């Protein structure tokens, strides 16, 4: 993708670098100078700003979520649920 590179500012980083640094930036794992460069870029680039915001949002959501136990494949429960649907279970009497 040929992007316009009409800005000779020496310490300016591009969108690709933002993509690389986005998660580190969100986690504050970047140096002050880098942080500043990224902030400057985000101020002028809506695409990257949205991108970083989304990453931050996802991070926050993951943090808020309770620890989800991901089971490899819950086939037993699935089968039970299916069986319960297939024939009405005699719940109650």
Q: Are 45 and 15 in contact (CB under 8 A)?
A: yes
Nearest distance in Å: CB 56, Zn ion: 16
Using CB under 5 A as the binding rule, whether residue 45 contacts Zn ion is answered as yes
Find the helix or strand (DSSP H, E) in which 3 lies: none
Nearest distance in Å: CB 18, Zn ion: 5
Nearest distance in Å: CB 15, Zn ion: 3
User: Applying CB under 5 A, which of residues 22, 26, 38, 48 lies at the interface with Zn ion?
Assistant: 48
Q: Are 55 and 22 in contact (CB under 8 A)?
A: yes
Residues that bind Zn ion (CB under 5 A): 15, 45, 48
């Amino acid at each position: 993708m040929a992007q316009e590179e009409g800005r000779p500012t020496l310490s300016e980083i591009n969108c690709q670098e933002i993509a690389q640094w986005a998660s580190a930036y969100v986690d504050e794992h970047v140096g002050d100078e880098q942080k500043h460069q990224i902030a400057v870029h985000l101020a002028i680039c809506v695409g990257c700003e949205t991108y970083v915001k989304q990453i931050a949002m996802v991070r926050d959501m993951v943090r808020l979520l309770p620890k989800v136990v991901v089971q490899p494949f819950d086939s037993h429960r699935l089968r039970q649920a299916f069986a319960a649907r297939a024939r009405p279970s005699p719940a109650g009497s």
